[in-house]
Structure formats: structure tokens, C-alpha cells
Amino acid sequence: MAKTAIGIDIGGTGIKGAIVDVKNGTLVGDRVRYETPAGGHPQDIAVVVAKVVRDLKPARATLPVGVCFPAVVQHGRTMSAANVSQEWIGLDADGLFEETLQRHVHVLNDADAAGVAEMKFGAGKKRKGLVLMTTLGTGIGTALFINGELVPNAELGHLEIDGVDYETKASFSAKERENLDWNQWAERLQKYYGTLEKLFSPDLIIVGGGISKQWEEFLPKLKLNAEILPAQKRNNAGILGAAALAWKHSDD
């Protein structure tokens, strides 16, 4: 029987989910998406997540659910909040979703989920050593792995470089906001990734986020010691990683 779990990706604008075959990292059936409710309050988001799960029509009531969320997540509690209500700070998110869904739920940070997807099914598959996953978008999300194991909540997008939180300079939204060309943006990425390299000496850096589709425009411009590769799972990465960890933790 296929090993399946439900993956839910909660973002500032949309909540999407799918049933995932966690052995090979593919979606089983269609993806379901709803708008994130205005204000991003916990109960309102929980109601939409329940709607997503219902629409997916999972065959088993015991199918575990993984939820990835834009926050630092410690032991099932959301300890920060980005683009959602401040009510999430310190909230028992595992408990909220388990009560709503009546299923085993595992909540994790969204960049960590994307990283798990890349390590299990994408650019980092079977890679040993220290691997850094970064997502370039509104900010910079990061995930850190040592020999394939996740080190959770590595908020390395917020490195202070030249006296500023450098995601305000090197994120994709900074490129758009300041109308930077590829060369100008690559100079900032060089400074950011060069600093990461100085601090961590990674064996591999994986670059995700929607802009990774155009990786040929900027990754070849970077001069680093580490190998640097575009992410492969892109839009489905959060769903795949959340489902994979939900399956893994459902056995605990």
C-alpha cells in the first residue's frame, strides 16, 4: 500500500494542500487551494485547513497531516508570525489543528518544509555533509541540514550584513522594489551567500522560491566554493516536505 500523508502549505495569501505519496514525492490527485482569510487569525485559518482536508477526500481517517507555516515552530508551538495575526505567537498550533481535524498533525516552519522536500525528493537527494536551502521571495527563508537531518528554525535570512537585516537587500522583493537588474542583484546575492559560506562552509547550497525558475539569469554569476543548485520542487515543496515529516512523526 502506498505511504501517503496530507501536506498543507499556509502562506500569507493562500492555503494549499494535497495528498502526497511520501515514498516518491508525488501528489496523489489534485491540489486544493483557498485564499488565506483576512487577518490570518488562528481559528479562521484552522477552518480553511479543515475545508482543504475535506475537499481532498482522504481514504483513511488516520492519514496524518503536515502543516507548514511562516513562523519559527518549536515543539508544535508557533513562536513568531509573518503576514498572519500576532495571535499565533506562542500558540499550540499542533493542538489547534489536531482538535479541528481530529487527526495527527505535525506543524513546521515553511522554509524547513521546502528544504525537507528538496533533501528527500529534489536537488539534495542522497547528499551528505552540510546542506543549506534558501528560498528567495518576499524575504529569505533558510533550512539547514547535516547528513540529511534537519536542524530546525535556522533563520539565516536575517543575517546582519553592512548593518542591515540583509534579506531587505537580497530578497527577490528587494530586486523588484529597487528595480535591480540581474547583475546588480547577483552582487548582493554574492555578498549574502559569501557570508553564509564564511560562517558555515556548506557542501551544497540549494536556491528555491519562484524566481529559481530563472536560475540561469543569476546563479552562474555567483563565485562560491560550495556547489549551488536551483531547487527542483518549487511550488509543491512546502506540501511535499510537510507531508513527509507528518508521516515520519506519525510513527513516533
Q: Give residue-wise pLDDT tens across range 174-210.
A: 999 999 999 999 999 999 999 999 999 999 999 999 8
Indicate whether 102 and 134 sit together in one domain.
no
Element (H, E) at 93: helix 93-101
In a domain, 117, yes or no: no
CA distances from 118 to 101, 114, 186, 200, 240 (A): 27, 6, 23, 19, 9
Q: Which residues pair with 18 in a beta bridge?
A: 7
* φ, ψ dihedrals at 113, nearest 5°: -65, -45
In a domain, 24, yes or no: yes
Mean pLDDT of the chain: 95
- Mean pLDDT, 10 residues at a time, the chain of 252 residues: 91 94 96 96 97 94 94 95 90 97 96 97 97 94 97 94 96 97 98 98 96 96 98 94 95 62
* φ, ψ dihedrals at 105, nearest 5°: -130, 140
Strand (E) positions, 70-185?
73-74, 77-78, 91-92, 105-109, 130-136, 140-146, 149-151, 160-161, 164-165
Give the domain range for residue 47: 4-112+236-250
Indicate whether 147 and 96 sit together in one domain.
no
In a domain, 120, yes or no: no
Q: Rg of the chain's alpha carbons, rounded to an integer?
A: 18
Q: What is the pLDDT of residue 84?
A: 85
The dihedral region occupied by 198, where left means phi > 0, alpha psi between -120 and 50, and beta the remainder, is alpha
Q: What is the pLDDT of residue 252?
A: 55
Indicate whether 35 and 50 sit together in one domain.
yes
| Tally of structural domains, the chain | 2
Indicate whether 74 and 30 sit together in one domain.
yes
**130 grid coordinates:** 552540510
Q: What is the pLDDT of residue 221?
A: 98
CATH value at residue 42:
3.30.420.40
